[in-house]
Amino acid sequence: MHRIIDSTRCKLHPATAIVLWLFFVVWLEFAPPSMLGLAALGLLPWLRGAALAQFLRYLRRTRWLLLTLLAIYAYTLPGENISTVLGSFSPSMQGLQYGILRVVRMVLLLAALSILMRSIPRDDLLLGIYRMLSPLQWFGVDAERIAVRLWLTLHYAETALGNTRTTNMKQRLEALQLNPALPVDTPAQVELPDRTMGWTDYLCLFVALVGGAVTLW
């Protein structure tokens, strides 16, 4: 059983924040290298406190992926060898440059994601996903059911992974597999604070769309 309740909107709608992040992801893919520094400066004021801690955790968990991507581009893309001593075992200059550029784009994406995840409470995040999926109801998609299932999944995962009786992540993941039943404190009713999009939401989306198009032109 679930219902959506009304609350006063005092900031950007969660759906607006999610769409802005998606805009940023697309913009990062096509932005020229000269614009990446400006993107980093734009994210810097928001990357503090809990968002900064989340960003550092993302970097720690993806460090080997980033290094692997850098090595793959450096050794697979053709170009001038960086070292003549290494000969054919030397990474190419062009491949290394492209690899660094790709890593920078991914780091900026992780920074924006950490800001999004720490700026929006879990319930508001699910509300944003629900509002984004709402137009799909015309095609038979049950947006409310998807949002509620996401909420229950996050609630279950937080409860199981936060169990202090387990000492490490492996034991916590095993707890998830061995105890598929919902936790006893799972609510029978999921409530999402409903919010309406205001003029500031549409203004931010318009500015982001126009600004992104201008910088990519």
pTM of the model: 0.72
pLDDT above 90 for 102: yes
Whole-angstrom Cα distance, residue 26 to residue 46? 20
What angle in degrees, to the nearest 10, is found between the helix axes of 122-133 and 143-161? 150
**Out of 121-135, 148-162, 201-215, least confident range:** 148-162
Selection from 16, 24, 14 nearest residue 113 by Cα: 24
Task: State residue 156's pLDDT score.
Answer: 63
Selection from 78, 72, 70 nearest residue 103 by Cα: 70
- Condensed to tens digits (0 to 9), the pLDDT of residues 46-75 reads 998 889 998 998 899 889 999 999 999 888
Backbone Cα Rg of the chain: 22
